[in-house]
Amino acid sequence: MKKTALFLLLAATLPTACIQDEAPNAEADILAITLPEGVVVESAPDYYRSYDNLLGAYPLSIEVAFGTDLSAISPTFELTPGATLKVIENGDTIDVETVNSKAQNFDTPVRYIVTSESRMWQRVYLVDIHYPEDRDIPTKYHFESVVTQGNYFLFNETAEGCAPLTWASGNPGFDIAAQLQGITSPHSYPTTIEEEGYSGKCLKLQTLLTGEWGERVGKPIAAGNLFMGTFYLPTAITNSLNSTRFGVPFKHKPTALTGYYRYTAGKEFYDNGNYTDEKDRFSIYAMFFEKGDDVPYLDGNIPSQGFNHPRMVATALMDESEKIESIEWRRFEIPFDYSRYGKSIDSEKLAAGKYHIAIVFASSSGGDEFKGAPGSTLYVDEVELLYE
């Protein structure tokens, strides 16, 4: 069912033709939810989460500002063309037109049913609108826990007393090429898991070719990546750098990023449609920045901008001389540089979760611009974010 983005993207790359008596749309998806201005705290929810068997629905989670009246919120829904929406309230199913005429009570999550234009398909969504959790994310990352979403893995990290952390990756973007190539194993995606890590399992990132379709749309390779933030699939083709949205709240001052890696570069570097003799490099870095209503996240443009941005507070960038090919595990420790931006941290904003952290790993440092060597592979394990 969740193939809307794939169909739209394919349609943009194929010749157009006159179509008569087009069949009714068979999709039944919520594409976007808009809340009143000034209410939303975090960026858009992940509309591509897999079905949750325990909830019996596709979960959508939205954080709103403290003090928002959860019992009276009027969301606006964008659906796939022709689809209709109903809400399940006290066991009864109500047309969304009736719901939109009054505020909805989100003191508890609300279930919605989306029916396709063809009336052949339905999806149940559970929309959870809530205040931000007053808990920090975990700061030790073992890369032992994954769940399968579609044909690829999602990495999760939990720790006692911390809010769960779900890492983001470019796997949803590669999924388009994978389907066209008949790739179904999550171990054949750019971001996956490896059984033999430094300790237990580990993160495995690999740079892969995207096949004929990728060549046609100017995205011939996909670098494995993992980062804190969200991957926004709707702009994966039209504005791929904007699809990578960095940052999650962090209420402490980070001081260093440590961990272990091993790396093998691919044999031929792909750049602008040609193979060159350039040597591929991986990326491990972190950013600490102040979030604002005008800047809810930093996107994939930030590396090419030299990590310069008015909201940036500190970066932890691995020196190029430390990026060494090795079949043995190597330890890294990267300090956060605060002197570069000359900013002090506001303790009240820090306690309120206004500062965001983003840790990023990639098998090809130029992968965001679709430059890299197919076969480049980065393994990462036992990472820790140090703070004070």
pLDDT single digits (tens) 244-299: 999 988 999 999 999 999 999 999 998 877 888 899 999 999 999 999 878 888 99
Length of the chain: 388
Cα 1 to Cα 222: distance, rounded to the nearest angstrom: 24
List helix spans (H) across 25-170.
96-100
Report residue 316 CA to chain centroid gap: 21
Least confident of 24-38, 136-150, 374-388: 24-38
Return the minimum-mean-pLDDT range out of 3-7, 56-60, 152-156. 3-7
> In which residue ranges of the chain is CATH 2.60.120.890 found?
140-387
DSSP reduced 3-state for 242: helix
- The reported pTM is 0.75
| H or E segment to which residue 347 belongs | helix 347-351
Distances 120 to 3, 82, 115, 265 between C-alpha atoms, Å: 16, 12, 8, 48
Structural contact between residues 99 and 87, judged by C-beta atoms closer than 8 angstroms: yes
The CATH number of 4-130 is 2.60.40.2340
List of residues 6+ apart from 164 with CB closer than 8 A: 156, 157, 158
Delimit the CATH 2.60.40.2340 region(s) of the chain. 4-130
CATH class of 140-387: mainly beta
**Position 129, amino acid:** I
